Amino acid sequence: MGDLMRRYWLPALASSELQADGDPVRLLLLGEKLIAFRDSQGRVGVMDHRCPHRCASLFFGRNEADGLRCVYHGWKFDVEGNCLDMPNVQNGAAMKARVHAKAYKAAERSGLVWVYMGPQDDVPPLPRMEAALIPEGEVSVRFVQRACNWLQALEGDIDTSHFGFLHAGHAQPEDFQDDHPMRHTVTNRAPEYHVADTPWGTSYGAYRLEGDGRMSWRVANFMFPFWTQAPNSDFLTNVAVRGWVPMDDEHTMVVMLSWKKSPGAYTGMPLKNGQPIPGFAPAVDYLPNTTDWHGRWRPRARAGNDYEIDRDAQRRNEIYTGIRMVFMQDQAVTESMGPITDHAFEHLVPSDQMVVRTRRRVLKAAQALREQGTLPPGVRDPQVMWDARSGSFHTPAAADWQQAYREQLQAAIRVPTAEREHVPGA
């Protein structure tokens, strides 16, 4: 699975986390301990944290004059890993060309630093999801670290039946305005839905017949290698994605991208009688970042304080879980499974179809890469991700959901810059 992940550009950290000639940042990606830094010209370097001389950590290095200098013996490296200086060696000027730090290709777009950890002589195009093409000034970028395996964390986003309980078990349909996407989930807490493989991964369409004879749909996607699109927004205006980036086997960095200018986008805080419904607080409270390998973007609510659960609010059914925020409710249940879920203990049922289909799709792609060398979806053909969008919409009762999806996609409001940059077949 690690080889599959390495064939994609990975969102590693926010561009704002690196300052020119500023402090190097420890970065844990796919189990590798890396260092990220921005040089004097603003270029970003991502390399193994060990100096190739005696393996001292470059985290303690001096970021100066377009390079990172190891404080042990003064060897200096540029963003591509080239050795620029070997001052403790008599013939260092001649020897430095033979030494190269292990460095990965890095690029910046949409407020993110992207890293490619696959073959450095065969780098694919950058991702072409719409959310990954939002101009920096219009993009919202958020991170949250989760202490569990990436796949079990991701699966919460593609599990449509949990929302009516974990997040909205205390809510009733009349608590939401008629056209609110979440009204669907609390009206039918045992959803019926279709699942399909798609060019970008997998999709589901959960459906319910409305009183006026129309069919209500909630469509969500999994996109290779670890992206999800949730359905709780209007389909026509929803430009948002989450990346479940493996730090190591037991820690995940969730990267959330959305378009600030999405007209009418769902804010995440439904109202009842003009007041926010408890349990839907939109913001994550963070602990201060530290410089250790797992020190970035850790939520204040965590296993050590039981995610700040309020048992009185739970008993009053004010908040179904007693945990005040949707994202942290997901955090609590997925981390409670343990760092890596024992799937042999599971009893899967029809409402888990999307989870099962996605597991199978990812496993088959990893096997095809290993056994036949077949590249997984979206590596050489990143434009397939352009047609992935999630959200809610209505159709006539007898309409085909995938045809309706295509029609909705044609009518969708797109990020203007992203639409100009999208070139089919690029």
Each residue of 213-246: pLDDT tens digit? 999 898 999 999 999 999 888 899 999 999 999 9
Residue 267 scores a pLDDT above 70: no
pLDDT at 416 over 80: yes
Residue ranges of domains in the chain, CATH in brackets: 2-124 (2.102.10.10), 133-421 (no CATH)
* Mean pLDDT of all residues in 256-265: 78
What confidence tens digit (pLDDT) does each residue in 72-90 have? 999 999 999 999 999 999 9
Residue 268: its pLDDT value, please?
47
% of the chain residues with pLDDT over 90: 73
Shortest CA distance to 354 belongs to which of 157, 207, 169? 157
Q: What global pTM score does this model have?
A: 0.92
Q: Over range 296-306, report the average pLDDT.
A: 97
Is the distance from CB of 35 to CB of 17 less than 8 angstroms?
no
pLDDT tens string 320-377: 889 988 899 999 999 999 999 999 999 998 889 999 999 999 999 999 999 999 999 9
Q: How far apart are CA 307 and CA 305, in angstroms?
A: 5
Q: Which of the two residues, 46 and 178, has the higher pLDDT score?
A: 46
Residue 174 Cα distances to 182, 208, 321, angstroms = 11, 16, 20
pLDDT tens digit string along 29-52? 999 999 999 999 999 999 999 999
Report the alpha-carbon distance of residue 163 to residue 234 in Å, rounded.
Answer: 17
For position 301, what pLDDT does the model report? 95
Residue 423 has pLDDT above 60, yes or no: no
**pLDDT given for residue 183 in this prediction:** 64
Query: pLDDT tens, 47-75?
Result: 999 999 999 999 999 999 999 999 999 99
pLDDT of res. 360? 97
What band does 265 get if pLDDT is binned at 50, 70 and 90? very low
Residue with tokens 């085909």: 400
- Token pair, residue 410, equals 């044609």
153 membership: H or E segment, kind and range: helix 150-155
Residues paired with 115 in a beta bridge: 10, 106
Q: How many helices (H) and strands (E) does the chain have?
A: 9, 20
Q: How confident is the model at residue 266 (pLDDT cuts 50, 70, 90)?
A: very low
pLDDT at residue 211, rounded to an integer? 82
- Mean pLDDT across the chain, nearest whole number? 90
Give the per-residue pLDDT at 277: 63
User: Given the structure tokens 């100096």, which residue do they identify?
Assistant: 51
Which has more pLDDT, 7 or 169?
7
- Residue 426 pLDDT greater than 50, yes or no: no
Asked if pLDDT for residue 170 goes beyond 90, the answer is: no
Q: What is the mean pLDDT of residues 408-422?
A: 81
**C-alpha–C-alpha distance, residues 162 and 191, integer Å:** 10
pLDDT interval class at 280 (50, 70, 90): low
pLDDT interval class at 101 (50, 70, 90): very high
Residue 208's nearest CA partner among 227, 230, 181, 168 is: 181
Angle at 237 between CA 143 and CA 387, to 5 degrees: 80
List all residues 6 or more positions away from 292 whose beta carbon is below 8 Å from its beta carbon.
26
Closest CA to 129 of 197, 262, 221: 221
Q: Which residues contact residue 175 at a Cβ distance below 8 angstroms, ignoring those fewer than 6 apart?
A: 186, 270, 272, 277
Q: If residue 289 lies in a helix (H) or strand (E), which one and from where to where?
A: none
For 235-239, 295-299, 421-425, which range has the lowest pLDDT when averaged over its residues? 421-425
